[in-house]
Structure 1
Amino acid sequence: MRRLQDFLGDWRLAREITHGDGSAARFEGQAEWRAEDGGALYVETGELIIGTGRFAAERRYRWGADLSVWFDDGRFFHQVPPGGGAAAHWCDPDQYDAEYDFSRWPEWTARWRVRGPRKDYEMLSHYRR
């Protein structure tokens, strides 16, 4: 069972993104969980690699002590299951379904499948210390 303290610190992050039309992209960089206000600030930085080049990219979330994840603007995103498993987020009109796998801790993955009229992709993120 994972706790917030397990995530704190620096991680290498590699992400594969596959779109429904067959196009693909990658993200290479790092993720950091920093203890803050009883939870943690999650910041990932790196490069998004697509057919037209490499672009700087950054994403931020806030994590609660209970592994709840919130967008940086304060909206709830989803709940990470402490033992791994499924999570979901409805972002009208698209459905986001996740699967967390902690079975090879401290290496772990998060797979998101996004389907709807606006979005259609799968994103697999690999984290390791």
Structure 2
Amino acid sequence: MEEFRPVPDALAYLLGSWRVTRSVQDRAGGVEGRFDGTTVFGPLNAGGLLHEEAGTFVWLGVPRPAERTLRFLPGPTPGTADVRFADGRPFHDLDLTTGRHVVGHPCSADLYRGEFTVRDPDHWRTVWQVAGPAKDLLLTTDYARLR
């Protein structure tokens, strides 16, 4: 059984820079890709964190630059976060107080199911399973704190 590390404050834990390694499996097509890069969680003026990810995504042997931006705002209870897309649309909640959190996010006809696990003060993981008529994906991302 995997052991999770409780985090009393998700935003405080995430603050800083992380090395990111993501595998992407298209289970319907049998194709795999990989993203390598960095994620920086920096303070937002209005409170919360700005998540900026940049790196290289390799798909079908072709490397391409890739980036994304999210907003991690203070959640409804202490230590939690309200995760939003860059344009402010809701994405999911995040509560790491037990070291593990499971969320769902509908996207058109597909459903994203995410699991967040904290391994120790410097390592955490997300696993997104995407299922629906348009997609059948497994995305596994490992984060390692950069010092």
The interval holding the TM-score normalised by the smaller chain is over 0.9
- How far apart are 1:52 and its partner, in Å? 3.6
List 4+ stretches of structure 1 deviating above 2 A: none
- Rounded to whole Å, the distance in 1 between the matches of 2:51 and 2:12 is 13
Match of 1:72 in 2: 86
The two structures have a TM-score, normalised by structure 2, of 0.84
Aligned to 1:99: 115
1:47 to 51, 56, 68: 56
Partner of 1:123: 139
- Equivalent pairs: percent with the same residue? 31
Find the partner of 1:27 among 35, 56, 60.
35
Q: How much has 1:59 moved relative to structure 2?
A: 0.5
Q: Deviations over 1:90-120 (max 9, x none)?
A: 1120000011111333211000000001111
Answer yes or no: is the 8 Å Cα contact 1:94–1:114 preserved in 2.
yes
Alignment partners' CA distance in 1, 2:139 and 2:120: 19
Residue 9 (1) aligns with residue 16 (2): yes
Matches of 2:15 and 2:83, distance apart in 1: 14
Asked whether the 8 Å contact 1:27–1:47 carries over to 2, the reply is: yes
Asked whether the equivalents of residues 21 and 37 of structure 2 are also in contact (C-alpha less than 8 Å), the reply is yes
Q: Whose Rg is larger?
A: 2
* Aligned length, in residue pairs: 129
Give the unaligned 5+ runs of structure 1.
none
Distance, in Å, in 2 between the alignment partners of 1:3 and 1:30 is 19
Structure 2: any 5+ residue segments left out of the alignment?
Answer: 1-6, 76-80
Structure with greater contact order relative to length (CA < 8 Å, sep ≥ 6): 2
